[in-house]
Amino acid sequence: MEKRAEKIRVVLVPLPLQGHITPIMQLGKALNLKGFSITVAQGECNQVSSSQHLSGFQFVTIPETVPVSQYERRPVEFVMKLNKTSEASFKDCIAQLLLQQGSDIACIIYDELMYFCGATAKEFNLPSIIFSTTTATHKFCCSVLSKLNSKKFLIDMQDPEVQDKEVENLHPLRYKDLPTSGMGPLEPYFELLREIIKKRTASAVIINTTSCLENSSLSWLQQELGIPVYPLGPLHILSSVKSSLLKEDKNCIEWLNKQKPKSVIYVSFGSLALMETKDVLEMVCGLFNSNQPFLLVIRPGSILGSEWIESLPEEVSKMVSKRGYIVKWAPQIEVLGHPALGGFWSHCGWNSTLESIVEGVPMICMPFIGEQKLNAKYIESVWRVGIKLEGEMERGGVERAVKRLIVDEESEGLRERAHVLREKLKASVRSGGSSYNALDELVKMLNFVHY
């Protein structure tokens, strides 16, 4: 079967954001290892370069005109515009690929938010598969939200009883946990959710999760969609691939080597979160006062009004030089797997969540936007491998959270549960595990649709 697959090409279409590019490239690598050729069709912004040692990968450009920087402030508008502007050029791109000699496309696998691809696949009579970078529970919530009237929802949510009501079939989620924050006005957001559902023509869904994390939501998804669902996560342990858009600063590993085992708190809020100078100051003071060494990622441009860290007061550099280390971008998976790591203060992006669980590292959860809140709820209340940091950023709260996570008695239970969960996740990608089997099923399907 693997031999037959050698000539088969799969086209991948990522959303041009780090948290979406990484898992789809990992999927590409997993399929490449199963014998498929991979073509990545990407926009002009945030390109993964072909120089990143990806043999067996071809890269083509879909010219698009929406600056990626728009996502940070207006995610819904960005996604809608991107879908409108990319459709025609993607059609040209597929037509060109089909003209290339020996370019036999088995399937287009596209990020769920690049829903314009469905129509193109249909026009060329090619099978298509949706790739989801978030959880099945998130899909469930999106389905709930898409059926709501935004005006009525806003009024209802002013009532604390409604906020605390459990969402049907989604225990322990309450209405206030639904992923609406940071998405801008509700009506366009709900409209986008409806659009994604309406434009769904794919014959299957691949999702970067695994059944031991969210079995009941996966069953719901399977039933709701009526098409095969392949939960093959965590993809980063199935196949690793270099797809960082920013340069990783490996010097922090040397700094980690000098720290005591399980002592360091690693702080990173992913690829999109923005913060104010005053909050970063409170954060660093709290980290310093906890007496634990800290490794802090501050992306260029992530502090509002500052290119990097020049807006921070002098006292910050003093505290960092005594007990901390700052990088612009860390080799995160390596950091999380380092023996000095005691905990991860995270924004709870889905990739970071999976990476942390796989290394058995407990988390402080501080979600920023969208489904991060949902992930935080599961980390704290369902898998019980983290604690939430709520309210205003304030040094006392930060200090307490770090101590709870790394020093206090409570930390032992968190670490133990994180280890148990880690073993379950690792088992799911080993031979006979649920994600391993799902990948095999997917490969069979890709071969079947091709011949």
Can you give the binding site for ligand UDX, defined by CB under 6 A?
17-20, 22, 133-134, 244, 268, 270-272, 297, 329-330, 332-333, 349-352, 355, 371-372
CB of 58 to ligand UDX, least distance (A): 23
- List all residues 6 or more positions away from 238 whose beta carbon is below 8 Å from its beta carbon: 26, 30, 232, 429, 435, 436, 439
Q: Minimum distance from CB of 389 to ligand UDX (Å)? A: 17
Rg (CA), the chain: 22
CB of 67 to ligand UDX, least distance (A): 17
Amino acid letter for position 157: M
The separation between CA 255 and the C-alpha centre of its own chain, rounded to angstroms, equals 27
Residues contacting 118, CB < 8 A, separation 6+: 110, 128, 199, 200, 201, 202
- Give the nearest distance from C-beta 352 to ligand UDX in angstroms: 3
How far is 82 from 116, CA to CA, in rounded Å? Answer: 9
Give least dist CB 388 to ligand UDX, A.
Answer: 16
Task: Of 266, 256, 333, 328, give the one whose Cα is nearest residue 294.
Answer: 266
Cβ at position 133, least distance to ligand UDX in Å: 4
- Specify the residue, 32 or 268, whose C-beta has the smaller distance to ligand UDX: 268
Element housing 34 (H / E): none
The CA distances from residue 291 to 259, 262, 286, 294, 388, in Å, are 13, 13, 9, 9, 20
Taking the complex as a whole, how short is the minimal distance between the CB of residue 300 and ligand UDX, in angstroms? 11
How far is 329 from 249, CA to CA, in rounded Å? Answer: 6
Amino acid code (one letter) for 337: G
**For ligand UDX, which is the closer residue by CB, 120 or 268?**
268
In the complex with ligand UDX, the residue whose CB is nearer, 97 or 333, is 333
Tokens 């898992």 map to which residue? 23
Q: Judging by DSSP bridges, how do beta strands 57-61 and 37-42 pair with one another?
A: parallel
Q: How far is the CB of 246 from ligand UDX (least distance, A)?
A: 7
Find all residues with CB under 8 Å of 14, minimum gap 6, and list them. 20, 21, 24, 25, 40, 42, 48, 111, 114
Residue 162: in which H helix or E strand, if any?
helix 160-163
Instruction: Pick the closer one to ligand UDX by CB: 211 or 346.
Output: 346
37 vs 135 by CB, closer to ligand UDX: 135
Q: How far is the CB of 66 from ligand UDX (least distance, A)?
A: 17
Select 35 or 234, whichever has its Cβ closest to ligand UDX: 234
Q: Which residues pair with 144 in a beta bridge?
A: none
Beta bridge partners of 346: 268, 365
Minimum gap (Å) between residue 451 Cβ and ligand UDX: 33
359 vs 371 by CB, closer to ligand UDX: 371
- Identify which of residues 292 and 372 has a Cβ nearer to ligand UDX in the complex: 372
Of 244 and 306, CB closest to ligand UDX: 244
Q: With respect to ligand UDX, which residue has the nearer C-beta, 94 or 284?
A: 284
Tell me whether strands 294-297 and 264-268 are parallel, antiparallel or unpaired: parallel
